[in-house]
Amino acid sequence: MVAVSGTSEVSGKSTYDRTKELKEFDETKAGVKGLIDSGVVKVPQIFFNTPDVHLHIHEAGSIQSHSHSQIPLSFPVIDLKEFITDNKDLSLRKEVVDQIRKASETWGFFQVLNHGIPTSILEEMLQGIRNFFEQDIELKKPLYSRDATNKRVLYNSNFTLYSSPSANWRDSLYCLMSPPPLHPDELPSICRDILMEYNKQVIRVGNALFGLLSESLGLSNKHLTDMGCADGHSLVCHYYPSCPEPELTIGTSKHADGDFLTVLLQDQIGGLQVLHENQWVDVPPTPGALIVNIGDLLQLISNGRFKSVEHRVLANKIGPRVSMACFFSTSYLPSTRIYGPIKELLSEHDPPIYKETTVKDFTVYSHNKGLNGISALEHFKL
C-alpha cells in the first residue's frame, strides 16, 4: 500500500517533517497514481500549494480566473492551412505569419489547426500515455529515476520534487529523443511505436513553426533553425490523476518553459491556464489542435519581442488528464555556443535587454531554482 502521512499534533507541536515525507513518497516509485490506487481521500501535505498559486498579486492588481473576467478573451487559434506541405500561396503565408507574430508578441501562446498530424496519431499518442502510466507499477519501477543527466528515458513524479515549494499532482515520463537519435529499444515497449511515430511528426511541425516564427521576426525562414533552436528535443508525457481535494494542490505550478519552443498535445479534460493581461485564461481543449508556446530562450534571443508566458495546470476531480509536450532546445548538446539577442533585431532604439549565455547555463539555473513562480529570465536581464 502506498501512503504518505500527513500532519499530526503531539503536545501542541507539529510533527510534520517535509523532507522525510518527500523521501517516503519518492521511495515508493509509485507516484501520485500510487496514492490514488492506495485509496487516499485526503491530499498529503507535501502537495499543499504555497499561498500565491491560486491567487497571485501583481503590481497591476490581483489576477482573476477567466470565468470572472469582465472582458471576454479569445485564445488565439491559427489555421496553418496545411503549411506543413509547403503551401506556395504567398498572401496566405503572410496572413499566417502575421497571426503568429501577433500571438507570440501578446499571448506567447496559440493553438494550431491543420498542422499535418493525423487525428488518429494524436489519439493513439494520448492512449499510449495512459497505457504506460496505468500498467503494473512493477513494470514502471525500473525506469524510475531523478538522474536526467545520465538517463535518456526516465519516469518519476515531479522532476523538481525536492527543490520546488510544493509537490505537483502529476507523474511524468521523460524521453530525450535527440541528439543523437534515441534508439527505439530504450523506450517503454507499451508505447514505443506511437512515441517514435509521433516524434517524427512533431519534428516536422516544429521545423515549420520555427520557419514561420523566423519570418514573424522579419528574418529569413531558416534563421532560427540555422541558430540550432531545433537541434535537440525531448518528449515529456504527463499524467494527472483525479484529485480528491483539487482546491488544495495543483497539477503543475505556474512557470514559463526554459526552452525555445514547446508544442503540446492535451486531451479533452483541460486544466491548462495561461496568464494573460493579469488573468488566468483557460486554454480550451480543441479536437485535433496542438498548443504552441514561446519558451524563455526564444524570448531572450528575440530581445523580448516574443513573450514566454507563465502557465499552470489545475488539479481536477475528473481524471486522469494526460498530455504530451515536445520541448525544442539545445540544452542536450555539449555545446558552448553563446546565445543572446539576435543582432539583426537590435538598434540604437532597441538595445539588448538580456545577457548572452549558453543554453546549458540557462537550463541549469532554471532547473536549480525549481518551480518557484519566478522567471529565469529575470536572472539574465542586463
CA distance 91 to 366: 40
Residue 373 pLDDT level (bands cut at 50, 70, 90): low
Q: Kindly give the residue spans of alpha helices, DSSP state H, lying in the chain.
A: 18-28, 31-37, 90-106, 119-133, 137-140, 192-216, 223-226, 296-301, 359-369
59's grid cell:
503590481
Which pLDDT does position 50 carry in this prediction? 73
Least trusted range by pLDDT, from 64-68, 101-105, 286-290, 334-338: 64-68
Residue 219 Cα distances to 96, 187, 223, 301, 371, angstroms: 15, 37, 6, 13, 33
CA distance 200 to 248: 39
Which pLDDT does position 14 carry in this prediction? 63
What domains are there in the chain, each with its CATH number? 51-380 (2.60.120.330)
When the pLDDT of each residue in the chain is averaged and rounded to a whole number, the result is: 89
195-239 confidence digits (pLDDT tens): 999 999 999 999 999 999 999 999 999 999 999 999 999 999 999
CA distance 234 to 328: 7
Q: Which one, of 174, 234, 238, lies nearest residue 203 by Cα?
A: 234
In 3-state terms, the chain is what percent helix, strand and coil (to 5)? 35, 20, 45
Percent of the chain at pLDDT exceeding 70:
88
- Crossing angle (nearest 10°) for helices 119-133 and 192-216: 130
Q: What is the mean pLDDT of residues 265-285?
A: 95
Which pLDDT does position 366 carry in this prediction? 87
- Give the residue, 234 or 368, on which the prediction is more confident: 234
Which pLDDT does position 164 carry in this prediction? 87
36-71 confidence digits (pLDDT tens): 999 999 999 999 987 554 433 333 333 344 444 444
164-186 confidence digits (pLDDT tens): 889 999 999 999 999 999 999 99
14-25 confidence digits (pLDDT tens): 678 999 999 999
Q: Is the pTM of this model over 0.75?
A: yes
Which pLDDT does position 88 carry in this prediction? 65
**Identity of the residue numbered 119:** T
Q: What are phi and psi of 323, to 5 degrees?
A: -150, 160
Q: What are phi and psi of 197, to 5 degrees?
A: -70, -45
CA distance 77 to 286: 9
Residue 375 pLDDT level (bands cut at 50, 70, 90): confident
